[in-house]
Structures are given as structure tokens and as C-alpha cells.
Amino acid sequence: MIPAIRIQNNSITLGKYCIAACPRTLPSGRFAAQVSVASGSGSARTDRVMCFTDHFASHADAANFAISKGLDWVNSVVKTH
């Protein structure tokens, strides 16, 4: 079964996972990519945040890279279960 995908701003909901890009501006004016992958709710909510060393020219490029890496992580977790 393929889980439903819902896209909203810089986040995607894929099944029980919410993948959110969190790019940040660097002092150089470039952008660093970060992604949050969350699941669960309330006190059972877990959140994995990954930061990457690549730097990007635009906020959108960093966000797209982060979402891509978040999707890769979710897909690797889903395949092992």
C-alpha cells in the first residue's frame, strides 16, 4: 500500500511521517540545509533533525535538498520494517 502524500509549504506528510525543511541562512549569505522528520503525537512524538554540510545559493535549493534527504531517510526506514 502506498501512503498518502500531502505537500504544504516546506513540508510533506508521508504516511505517519512529517518531513519539514528548515533551511538556515549562513553568515556568507548562502543557505544550509536541515530537515526534521517527525512521527507520532503528544508525548509519544519523536523528531529526528538532520543537518547537512552542503551550502546552497538559495533558500529553495536548500529546502529541496533537505526534503529529498528526508524522503530518502523515510524510505530507508519503511523498507527495513
What does the pLDDT read at residue 43? 84
Encode pLDDT of 31-55 as tens digits.
999 999 999 888 888 999 999 999 9
Question: Is 47:36 a contact under the CB 8 Å cutoff?
Answer: yes
Q: Is 18 exposed, middle or buried (0-12, 13-18, 19+ CB in 10 A)?
A: buried
Q: How confident is the model at residue 2 (pLDDT cuts 50, 70, 90)?
A: very low
Domains recognised in the chain with CATH numbers: 5-80 (3.30.160)
Task: For the chain, give the percent of residues with pLDDT over 90.
Answer: 68
Q: Is 62 exposed, middle or buried (0-12, 13-18, 19+ CB in 10 A)?
A: buried
Please name the residue that has the C-alpha cell 538559495: 58
**pLDDT mean across residues, the chain:** 87
* CA pair distance 73, 15, nearest whole angstrom: 13
